[in-house]
Structure 1
Amino acid sequence: MSEDVIVIDGSYLEGGGQIVRTSIALSAITQKPVKIINIRKKRKNKGLSYQHIACVKAVKKLCNADVDGLYVGSEELTFYPNKISPKSFKLDIGTAGSISLVIQTLLPISAVIKKPTTITITGGTDVKNAPPIDYMKNVVLKVLSCVGVDANIEVLKRGFYPEGGGVVKLTLKPSKIKEIELIEHSEDKKVEGIAYAQNLTDDIPKRMRKSCSELLMKNGYLPNIKLENSKGISTGAGIVLWCDTVGESCLGEKGLRSEIVGKMAAERLLEELKSGMALDKYMGDQIIPFLAMGKGRVGVSKITNHTRTNIYVVENFFDVKFEIEEYNENGCNGHIIKTEG
């Protein structure tokens, strides 16, 4: 292992936990140690939270890493990876911290593992400021299959803030990352989705689906939205939609009528689809590590600070440069992200 430690500034641009997640994953893949400073320095609650610690612990387990600074509130972390040794294990975030973000951290490691591994994660499946688990399962995995990622997500229980209690099984299989060329949306008019509630009345998912479906049909789309009502230790509701490789969602909250939740999800999806690009703004940042490994070009509706932040981190680990261009062809209005080098 090289003695040169890559230093990443955790306060760069949006300065969030994604810097930690991407840095740790790429450290394991490249076998290059990394030191992350100023972790979440601009945030009200600075430093590492339970969710970030869970991400680091998951990767640490897969590569027998040595870690300094792994505690809640830590603003500096050094990660020394060792040889990746895939093993199946269970991980409890300990709060309603996002399971999706742990999965986001682990997915790139499919590029270097030699045998399948299953990680069972307990925490939040549907929480604020994180991708819902159904988005990960139905959009992220679909897009990443185009670059060669072989993975599976099985939702065993849902978990909402503050109790959590969701359980998800992630299976990673050895994957050969390949070049991708995915610019424009397929123009598929079928919108699939799931309207779900836990520990609430059956009418809530139905009302979300009805208002959502009406707006989608009014705009020429064909909705096929499933209903789910479950029991668990936490209470919540939401709706996730996807149209081929583009997804959106809305999480229920107290005081927000079910009809409004459904309508908001539909409006958000229609706004993403209006760009005509293959990927939504959330997928735009998640694809970056895979673009670095496999090269290619993708079309994205919008370039976010999350995307630019991920580019900053990835360029520190790989001999690659990213270019972002505006794209206005065939009625599309968005951006292309491509690799150089």
Structure 2
Amino acid sequence: MIVIDGSEGGGQILRTAIALSALTGESVKIINIRKMRKNKGLGRQHIACVKALKKLCNAEVHGLYLGSEELIFIPSKLSPKDFEIDIGSAGSISLVIQSLLPLTLGINKSFTVKIKGGTDVKNAPPIDYTKNITLKILDKFGVKTELKVLKRGFYSEGGGLVEFKEFPSKIEYIDLVEFSNSNLVEGIAYVQNLDVNIARRMRKRAVDLLNKNRLEGLIKIESSKGISTGAGIVLWNDTIGSSYLGEKGLRAEIVAERAVNFLLEERSSGMALDRYMGDQIIPFLGYTKGKVGVSKITDHTINNIKVVEKFLDVKFYIEKYKNGYLIEGKDV
């Protein structure tokens, strides 16, 4: 049984470990889960991830309860099936999808899961980032999925609903180092239960800033009704993404400025991937022994590398490259 110490990171260590356990058939024991965090142990979103993966590989699981700091996951054979899962409140739907994604490399038939929870919440990728950055990049290399956003959900009520489908996939060699230098920035400015003019103001400020930096902005407006209230903007410039959530008392123009400034910062590295996609690509990089360029090396990236190296016959190497970093996976 593979043993992983989860004390140095958050839920990502758990998500990656359980996903690779289900995919490889290797049992795993995770100890000290989120030990250094204020709210130690498993949260609702982590439990949802484990429950989803448990369903898909008929796993035996011990320690699956709120606040648990130790979990044992003993997988059986992958057997894809359609199901629904409710994270509860505004737990991140995108993070549940992250845990499911590697299974595309091991399933023999497609499956669909409906996930209830938060589509746009702090400290997690917005669902539009997942759709337009994560899934599009993986699609380039053979990972086939479909994502439909049926309802948006914000903190704290949640109420979001997403339909996510995975197809059996064969991943190709990943070689994605330098940014394409595309000048087209696409995006979406959205509001729920708020005046649509807030979204229009976000779009106008974002487009003005992008034009000032000789970039073209093509940003859609979305206005919806739901049980939760919120606003935000998500931008994507080919393989680089950026986002910012609205906050009470924060002007729409400031929300847009922060999203654009982050995009420009990530773009200036010259690397193909932003810092947040950098950690998400690691499990797939482990399978292909490929290479990617990232703007920055985050703690999430380092933690994901440590977990993947325990499950797969791969060793990752990181080196400075231009204004960013090159990550390469090689045979052990």
Match of 2:206 in 1: 212
* 1:224 counterpart = 2:224: no
Could you list the per-position Cα deviations for residues 279-304 of structure 1 after superposition, in whole angstroms to 9, with x for gaps in the alignment? 00001000000011112110101110
Counterpart in 1 of 2:11?
17
In the alignment, is the contact (CA less than 8 A) between 1:147 and 1:290 conserved in 2?
Answer: no
Whole-angstrom CA distance in 1 between matches of 2:87 and 2:283: 24
Aligned to 1:94: 88
| Equivalent residues in 2 for 1:107-146, closer than 5 Å | 107-146=101-140
Matches within 5 A, 1:109-258: 109-258=103-252
Which runs of 5 or more residues in structure 1 are unaligned?
Answer: none
- How far did 1:21 drift? 0.3
Q: Structure 1 residue 258: deviation in Å?
A: 0.6
Asked if residue 286 in structure 1 is aligned to residue 286 in structure 2, the reply is no
Are positions 1:334 and 2:307 aligned together?
A: no
Q: How far apart in 2 are the matches of 1:194 and 1:231?
A: 16
Matched, 1:79 2:79: no
**Contact 1:288 / 1:314 at 8 angstroms: preserved in 2?**
yes
Alignment of structure 1 residues 304-315 onto 2, 5 Å: 304-315=298-309
Normalised TM-score (structure 1):
0.96
What's the secondary structure of 1:315's corresponding residue? helix
CA drift at 1:319? 1.1
Report the CA distance between 1:275 and its aligned residue: 0.6
Give yes or no for contact 1:147–1:294 (8 Å, CA) kept in 2. no
Per the TM alignment, residue 65 of structure 1 is displaced from its structure 2 partner at its CA by 0.4
2-side partners of 1:23 and 1:147: how far apart? 22
Residues in 2 aligned to 1:169 and 1:268: alpha-carbon distance in whole angstroms: 29
Cα deviation digits, residues 36-70 of structure 1 (max 9, x gap):
00000000010000000000001001000010000
Correspondence 1:7 to 2:3: yes
- Counterpart AA for 1:340: K
TM-score, structure 2 as length reference: 0.99
Shift of 1:146: 2.4
Distance in structure 1 (CA, Å) of the matches to 2:174 and 2:114: 29
Q: Alignment length, in residue pairs?
A: 331
For 1:119 and 1:50, locate their aligned partners in 2 and report how far apart those are by CA, in whole Å. Answer: 17
Return the match for 2:31 from 25, 28, 37: 37
Mapped pair 1:264 → 2:258: yes
The offset of 1:177, in angstroms, is 1.4
> 1: distance between equivalents of 2:142 and 2:285?
11
Question: Which whole-Å CA distance do the structure 2 matches of 1:271 and 1:202 have between them?
Answer: 28
Deviations 1:129-157 (A, max 9, x none): 00000000000011111221001111000
- Please state whether the residue corresponding to 1:325 is helix, strand or coil: strand
Work out whether residues 149 and 175 of structure 1, in 8 Å CA contact, stay in contact via their aligned partners in 2.
yes
Q: Give the whole-Å Cα distance in 2 for the aligned partners of 1:294 and 1:339.
A: 8
Identity of counterpart residues, as a percentage?
Answer: 66
Tell me how far apart the structure 1 counterparts of residues 327 and 140 of structure 2 sit (CA, whole Å).
16
Question: SS where residue 82 of structure 1 aligns?
Answer: coil
Separation in structure 1 between the aligned mates of residue 96 and residue 263 of structure 2, nearest angstrom: 25
Counterparts of 1:227 and 1:57 in 2: how far apart (Å)? 35
Instruction: Kindly state the Cα deviation for residue 178 of structure 1 after the two structures are TM-superposed.
Output: 1.7
Return the letter of the residue paired with 2:119. Answer: T
In 2, Cα distance between the equivalents of 1:219 and 1:319? Answer: 44
**What runs of 5+ residues in structure 2 fail to find an aligned partner?**
none
Give the RMSD, CA atoms, in angstroms.
0.6
Residue 164 (structure 1) shift: 0.3
User: How far apart are 1:312 and its partner, in Å?
Assistant: 0.4
